Amino acid sequence: MKGKARLLLAAIIIPLGLIIAAVPENTTKQYKLTPEQMLEEVNGGTQFIHPDEVANMLIQKDPTLQLIDVRSADEYEKFSLPNSINIPLVDILNPQWSDYINQDLKLNVFYSNGTNDANQAWMITRQLGYQNNYVLQGGVNYWAETIMNPEAPAEGSPNEEIIKYNLRKGAGMALGGEAVNAAPATVSKSAKPPITKRKKKKAVQGGC
């Protein structure tokens, strides 16, 4: 009776053991997202951070912000956002950068001229399962439009428009832009950008 149970057990686990000993180990790194989840994220645009928010963080000297320029080194030399580092898109998988893009302390914001290259960088890091990587909405072009040379709202615009304009103009001046024209006098007192901190994603850790 007992011998039988042992034989039965052996008959099951020895073949399974032989199979598992014979097959190669599965070392493929699992993708963190299915294509459907990726599509949902891309459509939702959750990776985007608006220039206003980045400008605020720069002015507040938020130490968690890390701007990453994914354009070529030439373009980076010509113009770059304050305190940014240059990781050209072609170089993004180079192990020397992995400490920058695979970490859970800082908030990385990729930027390129438009959003294409920065988005590609974001998708690669997202699929690698890295956290805290985002994309500057509209890229450098939109940055120049909104922060460096904000367009004055038309007379009689809603108050929010005027406030937003003043914030951007203040930010642009603080960050070396050209917006030096006087603001409409009515709301100039509130020219300091408000502090809005983006909630950091909680790191997920394995363990028991």
Outline where DSSP puts E strands in the chain. 48-49, 65-69, 84-86, 107-111, 133-136
In the complex, least distance from residue 42 CB atom to other proteins, rounded to whole angstroms: 18
Cα dihedral 167, 171, 174, 177 in deg (nearest 10): -120
Which residues lie across from 68 on neighbouring strands?
Answer: 85, 110
In this structure, the strands spanning 107-111 and 65-69 are parallel
The nearer residue to other proteins, 41 or 75, going by C-beta atoms, is 41
206 is a site residue for other proteins (CB under 8 A): yes
Enumerate residues 6+ apart whose C-beta is below 8 A from 196. 53, 56
Cα 93 to Cα 117: distance, rounded to the nearest angstrom: 14
The nearer residue to other proteins, 182 or 208, going by C-beta atoms, is 208
Residue from 108, 130, 137, 208 binding other proteins (CB under 8 A): 208
Binders in 19-58 for other proteins, by CB under 8 A: 20-23, 25-26, 28-30, 32
2 is a site residue for other proteins (CB under 8 A): yes
In the complex, least distance from residue 132 CB atom to other proteins, rounded to whole angstroms: 15
Tally helices (H) and strands (E) across the chain: 8, 5
In the complex, least distance from residue 117 CB atom to other proteins, rounded to whole angstroms: 28
**Two tokens at 58?**
């720069």
Cα 83 to Cα 87: distance, rounded to the nearest angstrom: 13
The nearer residue to other proteins, 21 or 154, going by C-beta atoms, is 21
The nearer residue to other proteins, 21 or 185, going by C-beta atoms, is 21
The nearer residue to other proteins, 185 or 208, going by C-beta atoms, is 208
In the complex, least distance from residue 86 CB atom to other proteins, rounded to whole angstroms: 31
Binders in 132-151 for other proteins, by CB under 8 A: none
**Residues binding other proteins (CB under 8 A):** 2-3, 6, 9-10, 13-14, 16-18, 20-23, 25-26, 28-30, 32, 204-208
